[in-house]
Amino acid sequence: MRLAGIKTAIVRTYDDVNRNHTMQMAAALSYYSVLSLFPALILLSAVVAYLPVPDLFNQTLAMMARFLPPDTMGLVRRVLADVISPNRGTFLSFGILGTLWAASGGFSAAIEALNVAYDVEDDRPFWKTRPLALALALITAVLLLVALVTMIVGPRFGEWLAARVHLSRLFILLWPYLHWTIAVGFTVLAVEVLYFLAPNVKQRFLATLPGAVLAVGCWIGLSYLLGIYFRHFANFNKTYGSLGAAIALMVWLYWTGFAMLVGAELNAELAKRSREGKLEQKHEPPAITKIDLAA
């Protein structure tokens, strides 16, 4: 695609953000994401407890603290400590289905929001979209867990791995850069999977890459700026009292959803330019048979 076409797609993406009420859709996603976040973390804590990496869940929360507002992590830890401590085994037995169902609620909302971003209607029945939301929750969780583990093992993991697999010195020198590349790559891959499977649109998997790169780049930048804002300017505890941490979490999730939807809008515009303005749905609605009463 030529440079002029890319510029046109960016301008139309900006117009679509306003036309599709993307900021309002991001607000709705932040609400459903809050309802899904804690069940997802509860399920994650139950699963990683059986993995060979020691104290992986606490390290995961510490890594999350780099992106989430500081006060929010205190709220997350308090809620998880109250729920998980006496019932860790239960969540891997009877509670796993209910917890997974609750965690997939945010992905059900994301499916609807992405259909709006792609300007398509979803004629798929509930018994197809809800299992799809469950599958998206599992796939995204696995990909993001790999990204988190890669960041947690740190730059010295390259020396440990090279000593056991007999890798070259070059690998040890490159690993501090590779482990961040792998982490960002798996995060982009998770967003690509969401763009590819969630909306009711036929598209190539690689066609979702531009929007995924934009979404992850915006998300990292916005998380960094929000961190500065929360640490040095905002004080939600004084304004909202005990709700301050929850409000900060909602703000962060709001901009996370906004970044994801903007990336989807860009993909939709690029797809429209390559398909003469029309996106092909995965499931076209059946044509209505017209009856000529005058015949």
pLDDT at 290 over 50: no
Q: Which of 59-73, 181-195, 232-246, 271-285 has the lowest mean pLDDT?
A: 271-285
Residue 259 within any structural domain of the chain: yes
pLDDT at 135 over 60: yes
Q: How far, in Å, CA of 191 to CA of 133, rounded?
A: 14
Whether pLDDT at 125 is above 70: yes
Q: What percent of the chain has pLDDT over 90?
A: 15
- Say what the pLDDT of residue 289 is: 42
The answer, yes or no, to whether residue 293 has pLDDT greater than 50, is: no
Does the pLDDT at position 2 exceed 70? no
Is residue 280 a part of any domain in this protein?
no
pLDDT given at position 239 = 72
Is 290 domain-assigned? Answer: no
Angle of helix 244-274 relative to helix 22-48, nearest 10 degrees, comes to 110
Model confidence pLDDT, tens digit, residues 66-104: 777 766 777 777 766 665 554 555 555 545 666 677 777
Number of domains in the chain: 1
- What mean pLDDT value characterizes the chain? 77
pLDDT, one tens digit per residue, over 210-241 is 999 999 999 989 888 888 888 777 777 777 77
Structural domain boundaries, residue 126: 3-274
Distance CA(48)–CA(53), nearest Å, equals 8
Residue 152 lies in a domain: yes
Of the two residues 216 and 281, the one the predictor is more confident about is 216
Quote the CA–CA distance of 277 and 218 in Å, as a whole number: 26
| pLDDT band, very low/low/confident/very high, at 278 (cuts 50, 70, 90) | low
- Asked whether residue 97 is assigned to any structural domain, the reply reads yes
For the ranges 8-12, 48-52, 189-193, 281-285, the one whose mean pLDDT is highest: 189-193
How many residues appear in the chain? 295
Percentage of the chain modeled with pLDDT above 70: 73
pLDDT, position 81: 67
Q: Does 294 reside within a domain?
A: no
Please say if the pLDDT value at position 284 is more than 60.
Answer: no
Residue 293 located in a structural domain:
no
Q: Provide the pLDDT confidence category of residue 203 given band limits of 50, 70 and 90.
A: confident
52 band by pLDDT with thresholds 50, 70 and 90: low
Residue 11, pLDDT above cutoff 90: no
Give me the pLDDT at residue 231, please.
Answer: 78
In a domain, 82, yes or no: yes
